Amino acid sequence: MKIKIAYIFFLFSLLLYNCNSSSKEKSNSTKAKHKPSQQELADGFLLTESSCFSCHSPNATLESRIGPSMKAIKKHYITSNTSHEKFTKELAEFLNKPSGENSKMPDAIKKFGLMPKLIYSDEQISKIATYIYFTELEKPGWFEKHDQDQKEKFKQNTNSNLSPIELGKSFVMKTKAVLGKNLLGAINTKGTEYAVSFCSTRAIALTDSVAMSLNTKIRRVSDKSRNPNNKANKAELEYIAATKLDIDQGKAPKPKLTELENKHLGYYPIMTNKMCMQCHGQLETEVMSGTLSKLKSLYPNDQAVGYKTEELRGIWVVEIDKK
Ligand code: HEC
Ligand code: HEC
């Protein structure tokens, strides 16, 4: 009996000890968060630059704006007593579910239309939040200088530290942001029908130009393609089938890396969201007749309609050099 009690006491003290040490660790790590490392800032910079600045450009003119500047966003989200944690939480809430209810900038929604949902992981959002929170975006002309400085400063830190699959992902995010910006710009200024012709002439060219600036090759392919040039090959179809199975079973779709002789090939899922439905959704209720006839004339063998949201629309195929 005594032994038992002693044992329980021992367990209990272990528990206490653990609680203490973990809360100690916690307060250390929040402290650490108040002073992000260069590496954390570098990661955040790379992500923010590639996925946010295309629409939240710090230096676009008012007319060419797709969304409010990051400086304006920061002003609405961070006041003198907003903690880093609170900002990260609120940013994640909006990015995970852009909506009027989650908005702190209803005027921006009126002016630009709601931000489309793009998929970011919690980890990415937290890095982006850290970068925005701890970087002064306020000074005039900061971006040109800052961008240059940061690029210099983080040159070694950024790309070289990423694994091939992460590097490919950063290429995809950059391309996605550029395509998204141009697509949204086309829809907002001239409507869906015009945007169809825009996509038709510009989507591949834009993808190529981003790829060229990154010195890589990027394609979008699908098992139900609109443009016959975007038809998936055998290996790509296998990945698409496996990914659809994952999604059916409620698993999050995962990217995949294959090795070729002197490079890697990265596959990354492309999911649909509400914004895509006007051109890839249900006929008549979502794809309106004007859009449909435009699509039919440009793509007589179009297979890319009838989708719902959160479905696999296709994949990015990215070439990543071996280091
Ligand atoms: C394809 C264009 C596009 C991209 C890329 C984009 N945004 Fe936006 N974002 C918008 C538009 C348009 C608005 C204004 C309408 C709104 O508030 O929803 C906006 C608004 C916002 C807002 C204010 C939301 C509110 O109403 O309170 C935040 C915060 C934001 N974006 C963060 C980000 C971050 C962080 C990234 C990068 C991870 C990003 N955005 C990438 C288009 C984009
Ligand atoms: C304004 C109409 C429009 C919208 C909105 C739109 N697309 Fe498309 N999409 C097109 C057109 C047109 C093409 C064919 C482009 C080409 O010829 O390369 C296309 C092609 C694609 C392709 C390449 C494979 C194929 O079928 O040829 C993918 C992947 C794709 N779209 C995904 C999306 C996703 C995901 C969204 C929403 C985030 C979206 N699209 C929104 C019109 C649109």
- Ranges of each domain in the chain: 32-161, 164-321
C-beta separation of 152 from 304 below 8 A: no
Q: What is the CA radius of gyration of the chain?
A: 23
Q: How far is CA 226 from CA 21, 25, 223, in A?
A: 57, 53, 10
- Measured from the Cα of 91, ligand 1's closest atom is 29
Cβ contacts of residue 7 below 8 Å, gap of 6+? none
Q: Which residues form the pocket of ligand 1, taking CB atoms under 6 Å from any ligand atom?
A: 51-52, 54-56, 66-68, 73, 91, 94, 98, 103-105, 108-109, 112-116, 118, 120, 128, 177, 180-181, 184
Token output for 229: 């040039």
pLDDT in tens, the chain (323 residues): 444 444 443 333 333 333 333 333 333 333 344 678 888 887 888 888 878 887 887 666 655 677 888 888 998 999 989 999 999 999 999 999 999 999 999 998 888 888 887 778 899 999 999 999 988 775 545 455 555 555 555 544 445 567 888 888 888 888 888 888 788 878 877 788 888 887 777 787 778 777 777 778 899 999 999 999 999 999 999 999 999 999 999 998 999 999 988 899 999 999 998 888 999 999 989 999 999 999 999 999 999 999 999 999 999 999 988 86
Give the alpha-carbon dihedral of 166, 207, 151, 184, to 10 degrees: -100
Q: How far is the CA of 296 from the centre of ligand 2 (A)?
A: 14
Q: Of the CATH numbers 1.10.760, 1.20.1630, 3.30.70, 1.10.3470, which one belongs to the domain with range 32-161? A: 1.10.760
C-beta 226 within 6 A of ligand 2: yes
Nearest-angstrom CA–CA distance, 273 and 90: 21
C-beta 309 within 6 A of ligand 2: no
Among 55, 57, 65, 66, residue to substitute to test ligand 1 (most atoms within 8 Å of Cβ): 55
